[in-house]
Amino acid sequence: MFDFIERGMFEKQIDHLIHLYHPRLRAILSAMDSHLNGFGEWIKPQGGFFVGLTLNNSINMLNLDKAVASRLALSDGCGFFLSGGSHFIRLPYCALTEGEITMGIQRLTDAIAASLKES
């Protein structure tokens, strides 16, 4: 690692990662702004690999059966909290294309809307 930093490769790697992931972050935030307003809240991170979505109290992540039918692989947020977390979804974006991100957020929105109609 020392040699990697000494040779100036660390900064190049960081620049590469920013260039790679920033468009994906913009894509997920844009899709969330367009489709998920009114369903929950999220913090707009400046970087990282996921966005945390806290659903409104009327929406329970554990009841989003339509998400699986929509070909979404979601896990509830209970593993991220000592207690609760059923209203939290961790939305990773780093391994997806911008198109896949937009499609996934649309599918999530449809699954949330369908679950609200059923309740």
Give the tens place of pLDDT for each residue, 43-52: 999 888 999 9
CATH of the domain at 90: 3.90.1150.10
**Average pLDDT value for residue range 29-58:** 93
pLDDT exceeds 70 at position 31: yes
Structural domain boundaries enclosing 41: 2-118
**CB neighbour list of residue 68: distance below 8 Å, 6 or more residues apart:** 74
Overall average pLDDT of the 4-29 stretch:
94
The domain tally of the chain equals 1
Name the burial class of residue 91, with classes exposed (0-12), middle (13-18) and buried (19+) by CB atoms within 10 angstroms of its CB. buried
Tens of pLDDT, residue by residue over 90-99, are: 999 999 999 9
